[in-house]
Amino acid sequence: MQVTIVGTGYVGLVTGAALAKTGNTVTCLDIDPGKVALLRQGTSPFYEPGLSELLTQNIEAGRLHFTDDRAAAYADAEVIFICVGTPTGDDERCDLTAVLAVADDIAANMPGHDPVVVVKSTVPVGTTKRIAERISGGTTQPFHIANNPEFLREGNALDDFMRPDRIVCGTDSREAETRLRAVYEPFTSQGHPLLVFDIPSSEMVKYASNAMLACKISFVNEIATLCERLGADINLVRAGMGTDHRIGTEFLAPGIGYGGSCFPKDTLAVIEMGEDTQSPCLINQAVHAINQRQRQRFLKRIIDHFDGDIRNKQVAVWGLAFKPQTDDVRAAPSIDILRGLLDGGAAVTAYDPEAAANFTAEVPQVRTATDRYSAVEGADVLIICTEWDEFRAPDFAKVRSLMASPVMFDGRNMYRPCEVAKAGFTYHSIGRPTAKACQTSPA
C-alpha cells in the first residue's frame, strides 16, 4: 500500500516507521524542512527508544521517505494519515488550525484516484466530518474519510503501536474499512483486535479513554492529600485498594499530576464538548482542577519549608520530562513548579537524562547539569519531578555529602521514607508522612 503520513511528530513518525516495517511504501510529509533533513539521515528529532534504528532500517530498505513537498507527498497516496498536532489554544479550546490546514492541502493536491483520508490526530467529536467537508469544498475528486485515534504512549510508542490493546476505526465507507483492515492486517493477524465504529463514536473513544486515565490520577492525588492531612500513607492505601481486582493499581500512582501533550489537552477538550452541548462535564472539570492544584500544592510545600522565603536558595531538580523515557516537556508539572521557584528568587539547577534542552527552551533561567550528582552540589533542597530509572537507587550518602542541607521533596514517591531518613535526609513525599532525618552526621 502507498501510505502518506502528514506530520512527523510522535504519532506520525511512529506510525510511518511501523507501517514501513510491515511492507508499505511510506512517505512522511512535514512542513518543517529542518525536521525533514534530519529524518532523511535516519535521525529522530525527539527521543523515543528504538525509533532511530527503525527509521534507518526502513530508509535503507527503500520503504520510508521524507519530504516537505506537498504535491509529491500526496500524488500516489492510497491512504493518508493526518497526524498533526491539536493543542489547546489560548482560549482553552482545541486548536484545529493544523488539521484544517492539512484538509486544504489535501484538497489542493488531491491524487487522481480516490484516497482514504484517515484522521489520526485526536479531534473533538464532529471534526472528522468537518475535515471531510473542508476537503469536499476544495476539490471535486472522490475520496473516503475515516477516523482512527492513536493510543500509543511516548516512551513505549513502538511497542504500543505494534502490539496495541485495540485498534479503533470510525468510518461509513466500505472502501475505507477495507483499506484500513489491509493496513492493520499484520497487527490484527497477531491477535490485536480492530474495532470498526461510526465516526463520532471512534472520535469519542479516544477522549473517553484519556479522560478515564486522567481521572484515576487525579482521584489518587485527591486521596493522597487527605492521607497527608489525616496521617495515612497513600502507598499502603493504594496497595490495599489495588488488590481489589475491580480496581487494580494501574494509573493510581500518587504524584505531582499528569502532563504531556495528551491528558491535559484532552481533558480540556472534553470540558469544551460539554460546554458546547450544554452538558457540563463536572468530573472532568474536577480532574483538571485537581491536577493544577497538585503542582501548586507541591510548590507551596517547598516554599513553606523555607518559611515562605526562597530568595537565593539553591534548588536541585532531578527530572524535567513529563514522564520517564521521553524528552517531551509539554505541559510538564516541572514547568509550573520550577517557574514558581524562580519567581520566588531561588536559583535552580536541574538534571534530566533527555529533556534538558527542551526544558531550557521553555524556561531558560534554569541551569542544567550533566549528571545527577553535579546537580545537587551546594543545594539547599533536592526536588524530584520525574521518576527516571537512574534516580531509583542513588548513593544517598554521596548526595547528602554534596548538598548544603539534606532535604528532599519527592514528587514521585520513588523511595522508602525510612531508608532516606536513615541516610540523614528530611524526606517529603506525596500522601505520606514526612520522614525526619534520623542521623545527624554524614554516613
Point out the residues that are catalytic.
Answer: 262
Residue 250: CB minimum distance to ligand NAD, A? 17
Number of residues interacting with ligand NAD: please give it, by CB under 6 A.
27
Q: Give the interface segment with ligand NAD, choosing from 101-109, 316-324, 403-411, 418-426 (CB under 6 A).
A: 101-109
Residue type at 401?
S
The sign of the CA dihedral 60, 164, 36, 320 is negative
Residue 273: CB minimum distance to ligand NAD, A? 15
Answer yes or no whether residue 322 interacts with ligand NAD by CB under 6 A: no
Q: Which H or E element spans position 426? A: strand 426-428
Residue 7: CB minimum distance to ligand NAD, A? 3
Among 3, 5, 6, 64, binds ligand NAD (CB under 6 A): 6
* Site map 51..90 versus ligand NAD, x via CB under 6 A: --------------------------------xxxx----
Strands 25-29 and 2-6: parallel
Spatial separation of the C-alpha atoms in residues 246 and 226, rounded to whole Å? 23
For 389, which DSSP code?
G
Residue type at 242?
G
Answer yes or no whether residue 42 interacts with ligand NAD by CB under 6 A: no
Q: What is the residue whose three cell numbers read 479531534?
A: 123
The sign of the CA dihedral 198, 266, 105, 184 is negative
Among 5, 10, 284, 323, binds ligand NAD (CB under 6 A): 10
Answer yes or no whether residue 333 interacts with ligand NAD by CB under 6 A: no
Q: Are 266 and 214 in contact (CB under 8 A)?
A: yes
Answer yes or no whether residue 35 interacts with ligand NAD by CB under 6 A: yes
Q: Kindly tell me which of 118 and 375 has the beta carbon lying closer to ligand NAD.
A: 118
Spatial separation of the C-alpha atoms in residues 308 and 438, rounded to whole Å? 25
Alpha helix ranges (H) inside 231-347:
234-242, 263-276, 282-305, 333-343
Answer yes or no whether residue 329 interacts with ligand NAD by CB under 6 A: no
**Strand ranges, E, within 126-165:** 144-147
Q: Kindly tell me which of 102 and 194 has the beta carbon lying closer to ligand NAD.
A: 102
- What does the binding site for ligand NAD look like in residue numbers (CB under 6 A)? 6-12, 29-32, 35, 83-86, 98, 101-102, 105, 121-122, 150, 152, 154, 261-262
